[in-house]
Amino acid sequence: MTLEEKLGATLNGLGYELVDMSRSLKSGLLRIFIDKPEGITLDDCERVSNHLGDWLAVENVAYERLEISSPGLDRPLKRLADFQRFLGRDVQLRLRMALSGQRRFLGRLVSADVTGVVVQIDGHDVTFGLDNIDQARLVPDV
């Protein structure tokens, strides 16, 4: 089991979702982005930080600084469940391989399943394979 999988299971047990994590061996920074349906507060970040400080010591994970944060208004979408959760929202996509000479797209998330993600762009539904999506983010709804 990878560190990310273990971390995800631990956070799920606390009532949070692991959105993303990054680790810099050079600076010793371990950055973890968490979410829950009602949003993340400073108290949530503090609670998770306190819990993970002990958990990381038990798991013998080396780090110098631990940073816990919400994913922000432009939350990244990484897993199929992320796309399914945010159906109906506007998304920005960046593809690994260009489609019709274009790598960046903006549109409304229509559907998502194992066959791909459907985004409505200028009134037309366009299907993107999950394996071709390099980066996907919500467009902030303000």
CATH number at residue 33: 3.30.300.20
CA geometry: angle 55, 53, 5, nearest 5 deg: 45
Does 51 reside within a domain? yes
Residue-number span of the structural domain to which 133 is assigned: 80-138
Regarding whether 61 and 117 lie in a shared domain, the answer is no
Task: Report pLDDT digits (tens) over 89-141.
Answer: 999 999 999 999 999 999 999 999 998 999 999 999 999 999 999 999 999 98
117 three-state secondary structure: strand
Regarding whether 88 and 37 lie in a shared domain, the answer is no
Using 50, 70 and 90 to split pLDDT, how confident is the model at 1?
A: confident
Task: Report pLDDT digits (tens) over 20-49.
Answer: 999 988 899 999 999 998 999 999 999 999
CATH number at residue 117: 2.30.30.180
Instruction: Work out the end-to-end distance of the chain between its first and last CA atoms, rounded to an integer number of angstroms.
Output: 39
pTM recorded for the entire structure: 0.83
Task: Tell me the C-alpha distance between 93 and 56, whole Å.
Answer: 33
Please give the tally of structural domains in the chain: 2
CA trace torsion 22, 26, 28, 29 (10° rounding): -30
DSSP 46: H
Regarding whether 42 and 64 lie in a shared domain, the answer is yes
Which among 37, 69, 101 is the end of a domain? 69
